[in-house]
Amino acid sequence: MADAAIIDGKARAAELSASISVTTAALVDEKSIKPGLTVVIVGEDPASQVYVRNKKRTAEACGFNSMQHTLPAESSQDEILALIHLLNDDASVHGILVQLPLPDHLDERVITQAISPAKDVDGFHFQNIGMLTAGHVDEAFVPCTPAGCMLMIEDQLGKDLSGLNAVIIGRSNIVGKPMASLLLQANATVTICHSRTKDLPAVARSADILVAAVGRPKMVKGDWIKPGAVVIDVGINRIQVEVDGETKNRLVGDVDFDEAKEVAAAITPVPGGVGPMTIALLMLNTLRSAERTGG
């Protein structure tokens, strides 16, 4: 069998961002609405700083107002809630994102649920989750990572997945569960696996579409994959490898890419697959939010 097609998430995300900038320019021209995305970051987590910088850069490239509030790690829950209430009431802000993880003394659930559902571009508010689960995908803000995965799956297989088996490994609220709702809505037959699933390789092998969102480097082996499957690797794992006697950091996914590409029809690489799409979908959600305020 020929090697799998490598799904270029970076190029697809760039294409999406370019079309978002065109629509944004028209929204500014015709309705004087400039999409505004505000990121709230609490503390100094280095990985979060990188993610936030990337989001800011992409927002600016799309022609958005990009704002950032950086609060000290010891900020109280009330201080953060007060800021969110201000942002909820600010008409120039269309999207509010609180960068996770938050320091331990803060209640992630209380904080994410304080964001107005109309500005919840991460799609974490229960109202948006409910809307997605009930099948109102076009009205909900869908979490950015599974929404990006879904676009890449549609590129490969079309919008109607009738008759196809989709297997998701991972049942988190931000990836696994919303991914299942999206695939179900597209008529796939969906199985969600997790750490208690029995004989995971056998279940994975039944998948025409396999989504891995676990956080375990190269867990999914080549012989877990059905020949011809579309494989979406959400995992981002930092590992250390020896190169010419030197220890180097490397990012790898949850799928053993070299093995999987021998079997799959198409696969996303890590990095350069799901990651860039997640950021592009955040921009799309923010643009949609701004468009909704325009009547």
Residue 251 binds ligand NAD (CB under 6 A) = no
Contact range with ligand NAD by CB under 6 A, out of 19-27, 134-142, 192-200, 242-250 = 192-200
In the complex with ligand NAD, the residue whose CB is nearer, 196 or 244, is 196
Contact range with ligand NAD by CB under 6 A, out of 20-28, 76-84, 153-161, 230-238 = 230-238
68 is an active site residue: no
Residue 151 binds ligand NAD (CB under 6 A) = no
Q: How far is the CB of 193 from ligand NAD (least distance, A)?
A: 6
Contact range with ligand NAD by CB under 6 A, out of 19-27, 111-119, 156-164, 209-217 = 209-217
- Which one-letter amino acid corresponds to residue 195? S
Residue 176 binds ligand NAD (CB under 6 A) = yes
Residue 171 binds ligand NAD (CB under 6 A) = yes
Residue 27 binds ligand NAD (CB under 6 A) = no
122 is an active site residue: yes
In the complex with ligand NAD, the residue whose CB is nearer, 161 or 175, is 175
Helix (H, G, I), strand (E, B) or coil at 230: strand
In the complex with ligand NAD, the residue whose CB is nearer, 49 or 197, is 197
Instruction: Give the active site residue among 122, 233, 254, 256.
Output: 122
Per CB under 6 A, contacts with ligand NAD among 28-47 are none
Residue 203 binds ligand NAD (CB under 6 A) = no
For the stretch 47-55, contacts whose Cβ atoms lie closer than 8 Å and that sit 24 or more positions apart, written own/partner, are 48/99, 48/100, 48/101, 51/99, 52/99, 54/279, 55/97, 55/279, 55/282
Instruction: Pick the binder of ligand NAD from 234, 260, 280, 283 (CB under 6 A).
Output: 234
Instruction: Pick the binder of ligand NAD from 38, 278, 285, 286 (CB under 6 A).
Output: 278
Q: How far is the CB of 63 from ligand NAD (least distance, A)?
A: 23
* Phi, psi at 38, each rounded to 5°: -115, 125
Where are the alpha helices (H) located in 140-175, listed in sequence order? 144-157
In this structure, is the dihedral angle defined by the CA atoms of residues 224, 159, 17 and 69, taken in order, positive or negative?
Answer: negative
| Secondary structure (DSSP) of 63-128 | T-EEEEEEE-TT--HHHHHHHHHHHHH-TT--EEEEPSSPPTTS-HHHHHHHS-GGG-TT--SHHH
Residue 237 binds ligand NAD (CB under 6 A) = yes
Instruction: Give the active site residue among 3, 31, 45, 55.
Output: 55
| Secondary structure (DSSP) of 5-53 | EEP-HHHHHHHHHHHHHHHHHHHHHHH----EEEEEEES--HHHHHHHH
77 vs 277: CA distance, rounded Å: 31
Residue-wise burial string across 201-221, b where 16 or more C-beta atoms lie within 10 A, e elsewhere? eebbbebbbbbbbbeebbbbe
99 is an active site residue: yes
Residue 169 binds ligand NAD (CB under 6 A) = yes
Q: How far is the CB of 33 from ligand NAD (least distance, A)?
A: 28
In the complex with ligand NAD, the residue whose CB is nearer, 152 or 264, is 152
127 vs 120: CA distance, rounded Å: 10
* Angle value at C-alpha 67, between 63 and 72, nearest 5 degrees: 155
Supply the residues annotated as catalytic. 55, 99, 122
- Residues making contact with ligand NAD (CB under 6 A): 145, 169-172, 174-176, 193-195, 197, 200, 213-216, 234-237, 274-275, 278
